[in-house]
Amino acid sequence: MNKAKLIEFVQKALGADTSKAHSGHAVESVIDGIKAGLKKDKSVQLIGFGTFKVAQRKARLGVNPKTGEKIKIKASKTVKFVVGKDLKAKL
């Protein structure tokens, strides 16, 4: 499912009187809320769904696939998702 299909799903779930634009704003608001939560608290927990967490990646050596040359990759931040119990049970 991509973002457009998610917006259509939200529109159907909210009812016939909801426009696609309003559904799009709802989806965008949820995504913006998750981003803000990660930036502020480093974690967003949605009970029954899962938890988004900011994680650190260590600096490491990598290989340039084009040339085969070894390169240094800087330390960076990433987001990890841990699946909640209820979602895991439904999969």
- What pLDDT, on the 0 to 100 scale, is given for residue 16? 80
Question: Do both 48 and 61 map to the same domain?
Answer: yes
Question: Do both 61 and 78 map to the same domain?
Answer: yes
Question: Do both 35 and 50 map to the same domain?
Answer: no
pTM over 0.85: no
d(C-alpha 6, C-alpha 26), whole Å: 11
Question: Do both 47 and 59 map to the same domain?
Answer: yes
Which segments within the chain are labelled E, that is strand?
43-46, 50-57, 60-63, 70-73, 76-83
CATH no. for residue 71?
A: 4.10.520.10
**Does 91 have pLDDT greater than 90?**
no
Neighbours of 44 (CB within 10 A): 20
- What pLDDT, on the 0 to 100 scale, is given for residue 61? 95
Helix or strand holding residue 25 (H, E): helix 20-41
Question: Do both 78 and 91 map to the same domain?
Answer: yes
Question: Do both 79 and 91 map to the same domain?
Answer: yes
d(C-alpha 44, C-alpha 80), whole Å: 11
Give the domain extent around 11.
1-41
Number of domains in the chain: 2
Which tens digit of pLDDT belongs to each residue from 6-55?
999 999 999 888 899 999 999 999 999 999 999 999 999 999 999 999 99
For residues 52-63, average pLDDT: 96
